[in-house]
Chain A
């Protein structure tokens, strides 16, 4: 089955800095790569996703890149704000959605 590795497990940045979270996947058949944000005690919510026919997608301060050859994808958050503090999960999907173990992002004012 699919295996998704996510790094780093924790990331601390200063407000205004950029944050990058990286994921790799094992199943070359995976063709959908969403990113979820989970605030403390809340449910995961989709923040951005990318499909296999696209190399990059941007939505305001967040962007995702995908390298299908290398089987890795990354989340980029620019101009981080304290409200970006949360756990972020990457996932890969062919038939079912497989998640990475998560990255706890802490943005300090």
Chain B
């Protein structure tokens, strides 16, 4: 099992460009999350998907969109990147919305210049 896989690992964008961050899990988990991590700010929830076919906003959704393509895949899209979106992005999956461990991907380091 690969667990949670993110692509790409590193990306540099120019302001205004768009891109999609990919996330896939092979653990048959129902719930998936996107977080961003900034120095001194911890992990902040951008969007989540409690189950296939549903998505909801988290704490910091502005400037992002998501797609739960199927049970395995949950993508995050930046339509018009801004320097404030420079961050490390983590995808995570959980078996269900109950009290179980969240497994994280290896992260995507995004720089917007």
Residues of A within 8 A of B (CB): 1, 6, 9, 31-32, 34, 42-46, 49, 51, 89, 93, 95-102
Contacts and interface: CB of A to CB of B under 8 A. Distances in A.
21 contacts: A32-B98, A34-B102, A42-B106, A43-B105, A44-B43, A44-B104, A46-B102, A93-B99, A95-B50, A95-B97, A96-B45, A96-B48, A96-B58, A97-B33, A97-B92, A98-B59, A99-B42, A99-B44, A101-B40, A101-B41, A101-B42
B82 to A, nearest CB: 23
Contacts of B90: 43-44
A46 B101 CA distance: 7
A89 B106 contact: no
A95 B50 CA distance: 9
B73 to A, nearest CB: 18
Interface in B77-105: 90, 92, 94, 97-99, 101-102, 104-105
Given A96-B48, A97-B33, A100-B42, A1 B99 contact: no
Interface centre among A42, A96, A100 (most CB of B within 10 A): A96
Interface size class on chain B is 20 to 34
Interface string B11-25: 000000000000000
A77 to B, nearest CB: 19
Nearest to B38: A101
A26 to B, nearest CB: 13
Would you list the 7 A-B pairs with minimal beta carbon distance, nearest first?
A32-B99, A101-B42, A43-B104, A99-B43, A99-B42, A46-B101, A102-B42
Nearest to B98: A32
Contacts of A102: 40, 42
Nearest to B100: A32
Nearest to A41: B107
A93 B48 CA distance: 13
Given A44-B90, A89-B43, A101-B40, A96 B102 contact: no
